[in-house]
Amino acid sequence: MILVTGGHGFLGSYVVEKLRERGYLVFAPHSNLYDLRKQADIDAMFHVVRPDKVIHLAAACGGIGANQEYSGKFFYDNIMMGAQMLEAARVSGVSKFVQIGTACSYPKHTPVPFKEEDLWNGFPESTNGAYGVAKRALLTMCQAYRAQYGVNAVYLILTNLYGPRDEFRPHRSHAVAALIKKCVDAKCNGDSEITVWGDGTATREFLYVEDAADAIVMAMEKYDGGEPVNIGGGQEVSILELTRTIAGIVGYSGNIRFDPSKPNGQPKRRLDVSKAKNLFGFESKTSLGEGLSKTVEWYLKEGSNAA
């Protein structure tokens, strides 16, 4: 049995689907059944499920705004969930524990492309510092548990994700979903202008969510090392280019205005993805254009009701 925490979230829903397609038995509880900030809930869950492997995806996360507003919660929830989950996994003797990390853990001014060795060379961008440090601390815990107890704990560093089923509500959304919603709303309302956070110069790398789920399943099956591994799409795009591309797909032809009084977040972000290819054969398959078109199509059909 594979226990997938956060299995009903954006990324988790694809991980669960892909595992089931491959014939695995999966248990994916909601937070209202087991609140993973509480050790008693985690212990009860392990007692009932007795998992062989754990993929720990559950997290408190969001875009720049949410990271600023909920920095305390993001630190506490992520460190408590991760630390207690790994301890329970150790006690129950699982054969594998996959901890999901984030590119937000890299130092603010990491040279592009970010290499795994650069992870500790400085503090993250301040807007996501609490989230990034909490996640980064869990890498140290995974490595310490491997060294002292022999726990097969694997740590993956994911870049920014996007795709169908993403979170489009403005207070929770990340860049791609926020920009799609802005362009669709402006087109529907006949607005002549949209306003985008920052000055448009920040760069990001985006990975289509199904590709990210494939990477996680591949790592679960094939990677048993203690070194962290970047998972990304390998393509860097500025927020200006991204906004223009999304506006083109949506068919919004109004003006794009940037608001430099709002934060850019990390100035540049792209991961070196060579380790994932060498260690377990992962390469992203979906181009940004293809992935964005699929995401916009989904949002127009289903997502706009939830946003």
Select from 114, 269, 291, 130 the least CA-distant residue to 202: 269
Instruction: Indicate whether 42 belongs to the interface with ligand NAP (CB under 6 A).
Output: no
61-63-64 Cα angle (round to 5): 115
Stretch that binds ligand NAP, among 51-59, 116-124, 248-256, 289-297 (CB under 6 A): 51-59
Q: What are phi and psi of 66, to 5 degrees?
A: -65, -40
Per rule CB under 6 A, count of chain residues that contact ligand NAP: 25
- The SS3 of residue 269 is coil
Q: Tokens in use for 88?
A: 């329970």
As a 3-state breakdown, the chain gives helix, strand, coil percent values, each rounded to 5, of: 50, 15, 35
Considering only 36, 184, 239, 273, the residue that binds ligand NAP (CB under 6 A) is 36
Nearer residue to ligand NAP within complex by CB, 128 or 186: 128
Biggest CA-to-CA distance, the chain: 61
Stretch that binds ligand NAP, among 8-16, 120-128, 217-225, 280-288 (CB under 6 A): 8-16
The distance of closest approach from Cβ of residue 78 to ligand NAP in the complex, given in angstroms and rounded to an integer, is: 7
Considering only 158, 216, 220, 292, the residue that binds ligand NAP (CB under 6 A) is 158
Stretch that binds ligand NAP, among 155-163, 178-186, 238-246, 248-256 (CB under 6 A): 155-163
Each as own residue / partner, the long-range contacts of residues 185-192 (CB below 8 Å, 24 or more positions apart, any chain) are 186/252, 186/254, 187/250, 187/251, 187/252, 187/254, 191/254, 192/254, 192/255
Instruction: Indicate whether 59 belongs to the interface with ligand NAP (CB under 6 A).
Output: yes
Q: What are phi and psi of 170, to 5 degrees?
A: -55, -35
Residue 34 annotated to the active site? no
Considering only 2, 3, 16, 37, the residue that binds ligand NAP (CB under 6 A) is 37
Instruction: Indicate whether 20 belongs to the interface with ligand NAP (CB under 6 A).
Output: no
Considering only 2, 4, 6, 246, the residue that binds ligand NAP (CB under 6 A) is 6
Considering only 20, 30, 50, 301, the residue that binds ligand NAP (CB under 6 A) is 30
What is the distance between the alpha carbons of residues 46 and 224, in angstroms, rounded to a whole number?
22
Active-site residue (options: 131, 145, 155, 162):
131
Question: What's at 128, amino acid-wise?
Answer: N
Burial class (CB in 10 A: 0-12, 13-18, 19+), 21: exposed
Stretch that binds ligand NAP, among 17-25, 32-40, 86-94, 136-144 (CB under 6 A): 32-40
The distance of closest approach from Cβ of residue 265 to ligand NAP in the complex, given in angstroms and rounded to an integer, is: 12
Binding flags for ligand NAP, 96-115, as an x/- string (CB under 6 A): ----x-x-------------
Q: Measured at CB, which residue is nearest to ligand NAP?
A: 9
Burial class (CB in 10 A: 0-12, 13-18, 19+), 302: exposed
Sign of CA dihedral 200, 203, 209, 211: positive
Which residues contact ligand NAP by CB under 6 A? 5-6, 8-12, 30-31, 35-37, 57-61, 77, 100, 102, 158, 160-161, 167, 174
Q: Any idea which residues carry the catalytic annotation?
A: 131
